Chains A and B, each alone.
Chain A
């Protein structure tokens, strides 16, 4: 018997795994039929999930924590047993603004620390406080942007204006001069560059080399009541993710995503980002960033609890949540490695032995303990060299200079 599942998503490249699971037969093979429901705002995606109008949703990882912590409208216990991707974001700034930055484009993208300091200088030269679009206060992009700006002494709440707008309106707003740049998931940054409005300034992958992005979020109660369906879905997604990661399939995947029902943007633009070919300025050759977005390898989908806690540490850092033991425990438990293990125990997916790790400590590919197949973790450094030990959140936070 086929089980019907409704899953909400936004028009972004990292809906890839869901789209591939639906379109390429991976869901069907597990006896599932997926109904992918496109939404135009994170608020609506959240409401559909929280109020039970969909079974699962492609959600910004920090938003899943925020809903659980009661920071974003109706509180609800959410659970994320699967990460839909790692990285895939880009900060672009208006062409005029970018004139004050390093004109050597590969060097600009490869050196986020230098570029952050150039950015600080560029703020002073700009005609107003730069207005930077972010897709949501509780987005991975916004947290990475804050982290990056602060490294050069820029106070993201005082020295720039962060304006929330949906990814699909970013390019239009830039063209109209309502914003001076934005950070968003692909293909929107590339679309702004392609339109001749902006240049790439920083790439998410260079800020945190293995930055958490979207998760598949469920209501915790539903997840607990439907273990079999959940496991089948996770197995289908793991197969789909491996397919999405394979460079041989990038053209086919880009064609799928370009469909009006999904991302509705040119296939070529989508394919470039999937393959990590970043055009930083119109007409310039693409700069290769092979780890620009990951779906499967290095156990990408595994929901490390330490990553949920890193997000929590940033929410605390920016005053979005009170620091206390109860909220930390609640935040950490949104990520559900136990469910991931259960679902994929009999598969050939490499399985980490631990559920927490020190984030940012891997500088070269590292083989780690795995119960199935060999697992190699890629470098996961933060660009400033800090490491996050989930057992020592307070020390980690104390090490950042006070903002004001």
Chain B
């Protein structure tokens, strides 16, 4: 069974590709949805096409599937078309699949289920990465605000942090927001670092 993954997120495609290989599928190709991707796909003649449901290129792909003479009319398919909860899971995970008409459902189902699990795994990794990235940038903002306070009010680092924290608590805001406001104000007043 030839499976093509259309994706421009390197990481998500890799996560899915690995999962499929572990499950014993070995005819897997990754195609980013740019330029002449439609022509590449036609040459590959896949049995199953997997794509991120959130990709804006789905309409382009469907148009190609409906006019292509080379491909045997793949149809959009969710894991179990008759089970609303399963469709919901696929949509929530962001999996859309096109399956060549006539391919037996039992053969496709494990691929789709695996895709749902892998897309969910990717979403978790992505969320953790985003969180780490936000934490890092929050850290930088707070550090900068601290050094402004240390310079302008001759405070120690602990005192500067304590001041930020108590201001945040008094205003019912997050420390990073108070720190950002302080930096902005300092920049405006020309006293920034």
Residues 76-120 of B at the A interface (beta carbon under 8 Å): 76, 78, 81, 84, 87-88, 91, 96
Let me know if B55 and A40 touch, CB within 8 A: yes
Residues 253-299 of A at the B interface (beta carbon under 8 Å): none
Chain B proximity mask over A206-217: 1 for CB below 8 Å, otherwise 0: 000000000000
- Whose C-beta in chain A lies nearest to the C-beta of B65? A73
Residues of A with C-beta under 8 A to B62: 43, 72-73, 164
Q: B154 contacts the other chain (Cβ, under 8 Å)?
A: no
A-B CB pair tally, cutoff 8 Å: 65
Let me know if B91 and A51 touch, CB within 8 A: yes
Provide the bound-state CA to CA distance between A169 and B59, in Å. 12
Let me know if B58 and A41 touch, CB within 8 A: yes
**A47, A135, A168, A169: the one within 8 Å of B76 (CB):** A47
- Whose C-beta in chain B lies nearest to the C-beta of A167? B56
**A42, A47, A137: the one within 8 Å of B96 (CB):** A47
Q: A166 contacts the other chain (Cβ, under 8 Å)?
A: yes
Within the complex, what minimum Cβ distance (angstroms) separates A143 from chain B?
15
Q: Which of B56, B63, B78, B96 has the most CB of A within 10 A?
A: B56
Let me know if B63 and A44 touch, CB within 8 A: no
Chain A residue total in the interface (Cβ 8 A): 23
Provide the bound-state CA to CA distance between A42 and B53, in Å. 11
Let me know if B66 and A166 touch, CB within 8 A: no
Provide the bound-state CA to CA distance between A53 and B57, in Å. 21
Residues of A with C-beta under 8 A to B191: none
Residues of B with C-beta under 8 A to A163: 60
Let me know if A169 and B56 touch, CB within 8 A: yes
Q: B150 contacts the other chain (Cβ, under 8 Å)?
A: no
Report if A53-B60 is in contact (Cβ < 8 Å); known contacts: A40-B54, A47-B76, A73-B76.
Answer: no
Let me know if A43 and B35 touch, CB within 8 A: no
**B35, B57, B63: the one within 8 Å of A137 (CB):** B63
Within the complex, what minimum Cβ distance (angstroms) separates B62 from chain A?
5
Let me know if B66 and A137 touch, CB within 8 A: yes
Let me know if A164 and B60 touch, CB within 8 A: yes
Report if A166-B81 is in contact (Cβ < 8 Å); known contacts: A40-B54, A43-B76, A53-B88.
Answer: no
Q: B75 contacts the other chain (Cβ, under 8 Å)?
A: yes
Let me know if A51 and B84 touch, CB within 8 A: yes
Within the complex, what minimum Cβ distance (angstroms) separates B87 from chain A?
5
Let me know if A41 and B55 touch, CB within 8 A: yes
- Whose C-beta in chain B lies nearest to the C-beta of A41? B58
Residues of B with C-beta under 8 A to A51: 78, 81, 84, 87, 91
Residues of B with C-beta under 8 A to A164: 59-60, 62-63
Let me know if A165 and B91 touch, CB within 8 A: no
Residues of A with C-beta under 8 A to B35: 178
Chain B proximity mask over A45-66: 1 for CB below 8 Å, otherwise 0: 0011001110000000000000
Within the complex, what minimum Cβ distance (angstroms) separates B35 from chain A?
7
Q: A74 contacts the other chain (Cβ, under 8 Å)?
A: yes
Q: A336 contacts the other chain (Cβ, under 8 Å)?
A: no
Question: What are 13 inter-chain pairs, A to B, with CB distance below 8 A?
Answer: A40-B55, A41-B58, A44-B58, A44-B96, A48-B91, A51-B81, A53-B91, A73-B62, A164-B63, A165-B56, A166-B60, A169-B56, A169-B57
Q: A41-B55, A41-B58, A43-B62 are in contact. List 9 more A-B contacts (CB 8 A).
A: A40-B54, A43-B58, A51-B81, A51-B87, A73-B62, A74-B76, A137-B63, A164-B59, A164-B60
The 6 tightest CB contacts between A and B, nearest first, are A164-B63, A41-B58, A43-B58, A166-B56, A40-B56, A73-B76
